[in-house]
């Protein structure tokens, strides 16, 4: 038997420094934020909204506040903190949400982000820079979706990546980290030309015109599925429809 006596009151040890966990306090996932459709089905289930009548005290209002912080449009102010802690965390809104928005994890991340501000003065400059870079990297894909020209340019770059041997070289040298390599393997074959380049803004009907219809080329469809857009125009025109496809129209809103 060991001679060491059991100490029922061990000395207190310092807890972990939150600044040693990069990414943990960066705020809610931006993709989760964008999943909210603002449909308002959560409003009747939220006790703080029913009690106050304030939009910002509703689940979708808090999500908009989270997005404002993520986009740099609002600061981590006392008002933001009050709204995040005013929420009871009952998660009744998640039961009512048709989009399956992960409000619970978003709320936890937002509160952690608030608490991390207490340690901001102890962070070194390189750790702050790392948080800024990680946040920008998370938002970059969604910024591309919102910028049609940038998204189309990305499609061209992706075609070059797939057809110039660069992709094979990257695989051979194993340049991509494992998580990114898994996602890269899901990339579809990108057509050389965008449907906005092959489809006129107005395509006349074949034969007598029956009606005039509009076609939204979209962003992802324009870049990744241009043959499908082209086939749609062929079918419609052969059925007697004049097709109007505005090239300036961007995302349908699904992304």
Q: Token digits for 204?
A: 């006349």
Residues counted in the chain: 255
Rounded to whole angstroms, the maximal C-alpha distance in the chain is 101
Q: Give the structural domain span for 46.
A: 18-133
Report the number of distinct structural domains present in the chain: 2
| Secondary structure letter of residue 211 according to DSSP | E
Q: What is the pLDDT of residues 37-76, one digit of tens each?
A: 999 999 999 999 999 999 999 999 999 999 999 988 888 8
Q: What is the pLDDT of residues 88-103, one digit of tens each?
A: 999 999 999 999 999 9
Determine how β-strand 211-214 pairs with β-strand 241-244.
parallel
Structure-token match 């998204």, residue found: 151
Q: What are phi and psi of 250, to 5 degrees?
A: -105, -130
The mean pLDDT of the chain is: 81
Indicate if 76 and 123 belong to the same structural domain: yes
| Cα–Cα distance measured from residue 155 to residue 163, given in angstroms and rounded to the nearest whole number | 12
Q: Which of 133, 158, 190 is at the close of a domain?
A: 133
9 in any annotated domain: no
Q: What are phi and psi of 124, to 5 degrees?
A: -75, 165
139 in any annotated domain: no
- pTM for this prediction: 0.45
Name which of 141, 230, 146 is nearest 192 in CA terms: 230
Q: Any idea which of 72-86, 120-134, 214-228, 241-255 has the lowest mean pLDDT?
A: 120-134
């Amino acid at each position: 038997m060991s001679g060491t006596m059991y100490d029922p009151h061990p000395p207190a040890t310092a807890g972990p420094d939150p600044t040693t966990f990069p990414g943990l306090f960066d705020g809610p996932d931006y993709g989760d934020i964008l999943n909210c459709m603002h449909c308002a089905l959560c409003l009747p289930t939220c006790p703080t909204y029913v009690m106050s009548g304030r939009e910002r005290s509703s689940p979708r209002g808090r999500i908009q506040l989270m997005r404002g912080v993520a986009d740099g449009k609002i600061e981590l102010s006392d008002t933001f903190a009050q709204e995040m802690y005013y929420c009871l965390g009952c998660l009744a809104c998640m039961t009512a949400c048709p989009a399956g928005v992960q409000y619970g994890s978003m709320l936890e991340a937002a509160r952690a982000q608030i608490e991390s501000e207490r340690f901001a003065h102890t962070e070194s400059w390189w750790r702050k820079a790392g948080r800024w870079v990680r946040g920008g990297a998370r938002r970059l894909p969604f910024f591309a979706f919102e910028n049609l020209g940038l998204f189309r340019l990305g499609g061209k770059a992706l075609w070059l990546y797939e057809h110039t041997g660069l992709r094979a070289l990257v695989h051979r040298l194993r340049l991509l980290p494992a998580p990114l390599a898994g996602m890269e393997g899901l990339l579809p074959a990108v057509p050389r030309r965008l449907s906005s380049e092959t489809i006129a803004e107005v395509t006349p009907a074949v034969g007598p015109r029956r009606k005039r219809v509009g076609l939204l080329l979209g962003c992802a469809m324009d870049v990744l599925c241009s043959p499908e857009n082209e086939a749609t125009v062929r079918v419609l025109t052969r059925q007697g429809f004049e097709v109007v496809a505005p090239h300036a129209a961007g995302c349908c809103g699904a992304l």
